[in-house]
Amino acid sequence: MDTPLALSDFEPRSELVTPQHQVLQPRYPVVDAHNHLPIEALAADPTRVTQIVQVLDEAGVQTVVNLSGGWGDTLERTLDGLDRAHPQRFVTFCNVDWRGVGEPGWAERATAQLRRDVAAGAKGLKVFKELGLRHRDTAGRLVSPDDPRIAAIWAQAGELGVPVLIHAADPVAFFRPLDRHNERWDELQRHPDWHFYGGDLPGFDELIAALYRTIEAHPQTTFITAHVGCYPENLAFVTRMLERHPNLYTDFSARIAELGRAPYSARRWFLAHADRILYGTDAVPMVEMYRNSYRFLETEDEYFDYAVGAPIPPQGRWKIYGVSLPDDVLRRVYHDNAAALLGLG
């Protein structure tokens, strides 16, 4: 007799039998070029930084790039607690205070703060997806990445010689109706504030267009797009952008789920752009998390979980396949590309 089952309770176990390989250590030292270690949270538990360093040692991670450095005094506390306390293990990017966009003198104040932050030790600038989706000017209008009133920020980063790691938009499904066709239905049930469909919010295509207009308008500034060009669902598009913009790099943080479900295309993409892709996780440093990403990059394993320890897949109800990258590509993706951009050993 059939028994009704709620979708939220559906956790099928695959009966597929295929070779499985553990990758305990990466083939080359790793720079995790996309992570978030807010100093306020770490300061609440003084042992936490030591624990993170132990995880990095065990997982073969040389350096973590902390993208949540803040600015001014917050940045100084972050640099003290991470970069200065553990040289080369942590590298911190600063952020922008977007409050007051539209006020006279805002751009001058923001660029001056960026200069001070870089002089203090910030190795780059991180721009969160809230630019375009949340931040509003003094008149209440959303501020887009290509807003001419903030263009001085991008130009200043270029003059200072620091990269801008920017996240615009989000998975395409976050901008679609939340119905039976939405492949991220589970995720959006858990995070309804990530659903950007409707209201006065821009659409996905509009945000992506604004992002790449910004990159094109500032060829002297190095941009790193987060999460596979902010469009991992469409590697052909990301490839065109990399080919069009020589000042563009990208990371694949938090997107092995998307890449691993299209292993043939993903592998070709890695091979074609090995000098422009950075390793990143966008996840709390954990040994098993790192090792699962190494398995994706280094093996031909089939149909395995992209997230460790999650009964319901956090992004979508699919599994992934390894892309088995050759040594020369692994070396550049794991380490050399980020090390060159950030001046690491």
Q: What is the pLDDT of residues 77-122, one digit of tens each?
A: 999 999 999 999 999 999 999 999 999 999 999 999 999 999 999 9
pLDDT of residue 284: 94
Q: Is the pLDDT of residue 8 over 90?
A: no
Do the domain assignments include residue 69? yes
Do the domain assignments include residue 307? yes
Residue ranges of E strands in the chain: 30-35, 61-66, 90-92, 125-127, 164-166, 223-225, 248-251, 277-278
User: If you ran DSSP here, which 8-state letter would residue 74 be given?
Assistant: H
Q: Could you report the per-residue pLDDT of 330-343, keeping only the tens digit for each?
A: 999 999 999 999 99
pLDDT of residue 256: 98
Q: Could you report the per-residue pLDDT of 265-305, keeping only the tens digit for each?
A: 999 999 999 999 999 999 999 999 999 999 999 999 999 99
Question: What is the residue-averaged pLDDT of the chain?
Answer: 96
- The 10 Å Cβ neighbour count of residue 300 is 13
Please compute the mean of the pLDDT values over residues 186-190 and round it to a whole number: 93
Do the domain assignments include residue 1? no
Do the domain assignments include residue 233? yes
Do the domain assignments include residue 7? no
Q: Which of 7-11, 16-20, 254-258 has the lowest mean pLDDT?
A: 7-11
Please compute the mean of the pLDDT values over residues 163-188 and round it to a whole number: 97
Rounded Cα gap, residues 55 and 290, in angstroms: 9
**pTM, full prediction:** 0.96
Q: Is the pLDDT of residue 148 over 90?
A: yes
Expressed as residue numbers, the domain containing 269 is: 26-342
Q: Is the pLDDT of residue 311 over 80?
A: no
Residues 1-34, buried b or exposed e (16+ Cβ, 10 A)? eeeeeeeeeeeeeeeeeeeeeebeebbbbbbbbb
Structurally, the chain folds into a number of domains equal to 1
Do the domain assignments include residue 119? yes
Do the domain assignments include residue 276? yes
CATH code where residue 47 lies: 3.20.20.140
Place of tokens 């200072």: 160
Place of tokens 């003084």: 46
pLDDT of residue 43: 84
Q: Is the pLDDT of residue 183 over 90?
A: yes
Q: Could you report the per-residue pLDDT of 201-260, keeping only the tens digit for each?
A: 999 999 999 999 999 999 999 999 999 999 999 999 999 999 999 999 999 999 999 999
Please compute the mean of the pLDDT values over residues 29-43 and round it to a whole number: 93
Do the domain assignments include residue 229? yes
Query: Which contiguous run of DSSP H or E holds residue 120?
Result: helix 106-120
